[in-house]
Structure 1
C-alpha cells in the first residue's frame, strides 16, 4: 500500500520546510510513503527548498495556473507513480500533519473512498465571526448540492483512494474543494468526514483577496457544479419562476379584459406572453442540458477506463525499471 502526500505550492519557500518536517514518515498499514509538491509557477526558491528537503517528486508548472489546475496536476502525477492513497495538504502547515493517519484510516479499512478533514471552525481564533458564519453557510449549500453530510466543505485536507482520484474532474480554475464534493456526491462516490486539528496561522490566505470575492467565487463554483450535475432541476426552477410571473401578469390582464378595460392594458398581454414563452424556452434548455449531462456521465466513465489503462501502464513500466536496476535508488526531487 503506497501513500503519496501532495502539497500545492505558490511562493511557499518560507513555510514549506515547516510543513514538510511535520509530515509522517510511517503509518500503520502503509508500506511506502512518498512526497510530492506542485510548484504552481512560484517566483521564489520553493522548488529548491523542496529538493533540498528530499521530496520524491516535483510537478513544475512554468506559470501560475491556480489551485484547481495544480491540484489536478498533482493527482495525475501521484496516480502515474503508483499511489494507492493520495493525501492533499497545504504548504502553510495549516493542518496538523499527525492527523494524516486519521484521514487515511477509513480508506485503509475499506469504509470509504474520500475522507475530508473537518476543521474546528468555531474554535479557530484567527478567523473572524463573519468568516466562520460564511464557512458554515457555504458548507450547508454544498451539502444540499451534493446530498452529503460533509461539515467543512472548503477544507483542503483530504485523502483519496486511487479509484476515487481517477474519477475526479475539476473544470473551474478557482478551487477544487467545493466542486469535487458536489461531483463525488452526485456520482455516489463513498465519502465521509473526520474531525482534525489545525495549527497556528503562519501567513494569511492567498486564495482570495477579500471576503466578498471569496463568497462570489464560491457561490459561482457551487452553482456551476450544480448546473452540471442537476441541470434539469436548475433550469426548471428558473423557467417556472419566469413562467409563473408571466402567468400572473396574464391573469391580471384577463381581469381587466373581463371588466371591459382590456384595451388599455395591451402592454401587460405582450409582457405576459413574452415571459411565459421565455419560461417555456428555459425549461426546454433544461431538457437539452439534462441530455448533455447524461452524455457527460458516459464520457466520465470512458475517461475513467482510459485513465486506469494509462496510469496502470505507467506503474507497470516503473516497476519493471525498478526490477532491472541492479543497485542504487532514483534521485529524490524527480521533476514530473
Structure 2
C-alpha cells in the first residue's frame, strides 16, 4: 500500500522544511511505504528549493493558482504516482505531522474511506474569531446538505483512498474543502472525523485570511454558492417564497387600506416568485439526473 503525503505550499520557506522532516520521522515510525509530494503554487521565495533538497517530489505552478487548482493538481500527480492513500497536510506547521498516523488508521483498518482531522473536536491553540465563526458556519451548512454531522468542513488535514480521489471531482474556483466532503457523501464513501491539535502559526501570515473583512465576504459568497449548487430547490425556493410573501402582504395592505385589490407590483411579485421557485425545481431535477 503506497501512501503519498501531499503538501500545498505558497511562500512557506520558514516552515516547509520542518514539516517535511517531521513527516519523514512520523512515517518512518510505522514503516509505511510512502512518498512526500509538494505542490509549489508559484512561490517567490525558497520554498521549492528547500523541498527539493529534502527529497520531496516537487511540482510547481508558474504563477499562483489558488487553493482549488492546487488541490486538483495534487490529486492528479498523486494518482499518477500510484497512490493508494493520499494524506493532505498544510505547509505552515499548524497541523501536527505526528497525527498523520491517526488519520491513516481508520482507512488502513477498513473503517473509513475518508478521514477528516477536526480542529473543533480537538484543541485549537489560536484562531481568529471571525475565521472560527466562518468555519463553524461552513460546517453547519455542509452538515445540513449532507445530513451527516461534520464538525470541521474547512480542515486542510485529511486522508482519503484512491477511490475517493478518482471519483470525487472538485470544480470550485475558491477552495476544495467543502465540495470534496459533499461529493464524497453523495457517492456513499464512509467519512470519519478524528480530533486533532491545531497549533499557533509560528511564521508568516495566513494565505486565506489577509484581513477579517475580506475573509468574511469570500466566505459568505462561498456559502451562497454551496447552497445554490447542492440544494438548489431550497436556495431558489427561499427567494421565490420571499417574492410571493411580499406580493401577498402587499395584497393584504391594499385590501385593508387602499381602494384597489391588485396592481402591477403585486402581480409582478407573484409571477417572479413562482418563476424563481419553478427554476429551483428544474435545477433540482437537473442535479439529480446528473448524479
Say whether the fold is shared (TM-score over 0.5).
yes
Q: Does 1:275 align with 2:269?
A: yes
The answer on whether the counterparts of 1:4 and 1:36 sit within 8 Å (CA) in structure 2 is yes
Closer, same or farther in 2 for the Cα pair 1:226/1:184, shift >3 Å? farther
1:29-53 CA-partner distances (Å, limit 9, x unpaired): x741111011111112222111110
Distance in 2 (alpha carbons) for counterparts of 1:225 and 1:80 = 30
- Deviating 4+ runs (over 6 angstroms): none
Q: CA deviation at 1:209?
A: 1.3
Q: Distance in 2 between matches of 1:125 and 1:92?
A: 14
Which residue of the partner structure matches residue 119 of structure 1? 119
Measure how far apart 1:256 and its partner are: 4.9
Determine the structure 2 residue equivalent to 1:304.
none
Looking at structure 2, the residues matched to 95 and 101 of structure 1 have their Cα atoms a distance apart, in angstroms, of 13
Deviation at 1:150, TM superposition (A): 1.6
Tell me if structure 1 keeps the 8 A contact 2:68–2:173.
yes
Aligned residues: 288
- Quote the Cα distance in structure 2 between the aligned partners of 1:209 and 1:97: 25
SS of aligned partner of 1:102: helix
Matched, 1:3 2:3: yes
Aligned counterpart, 1:32: 33
Structure 1: gaps of 5 or more residues: 298-336
**Corresponding residue number in structure 2 for 1:69:** 69
**DSSP 3-state at the match of 2:197:** coil
Q: In structure 2, do the counterparts of structure 1 residues 233 and 131 end up closer, same or farther at CA, with 3 Å as the change threshold?
A: closer
Checking the alignment, whether the CA contact within 8 Å between 2:8 and 2:90 is kept in structure 1 is: yes
CA offsets, 1:48-83, max 9 Å, x none? 11111001x222211111011101100111111111
CA RMSD of aligned residues (A): 2.2
Which of 262, 281, 285 is the equivalent residue of 2:279?
A: 285
**CA drift at 1:129:** 4.2
CA positional deviation for 1:19: 0.5
SS at match of 1:126: coil
2:151 is matched with: 151
Give the superposition deviation at 1:184: 2.5
What is aligned with 2:55? 54
| Cα displacement (A) at 1:27 | 5.8
Contact 1:142 1:222 in 2 (8 A): no
Structure 2 unmatched ranges of 5 or more: none
Give CA deviations for 1:118-161 in whole Å, capped at 9, x if unaligned: 12588534334444344333322332233221212221000011
Partner SS state of residue 142, structure 1: helix
For the 8 Å contact 1:104–1:159, the answer to whether it is kept is yes
Q: Which structure has the larger Rg over C-alpha atoms?
A: 1
- Separation in structure 2 between the aligned mates of residue 70 and residue 191 of structure 1, nearest angstrom: 23
Structure 1 residues 240 and 188 mapped into 2: Cα distance closer, same or farther (>3 Å)?
farther
Give the whole-Å Cα distance in 2 for the aligned partners of 1:288 and 1:120: 37
Partner of 1:313: none
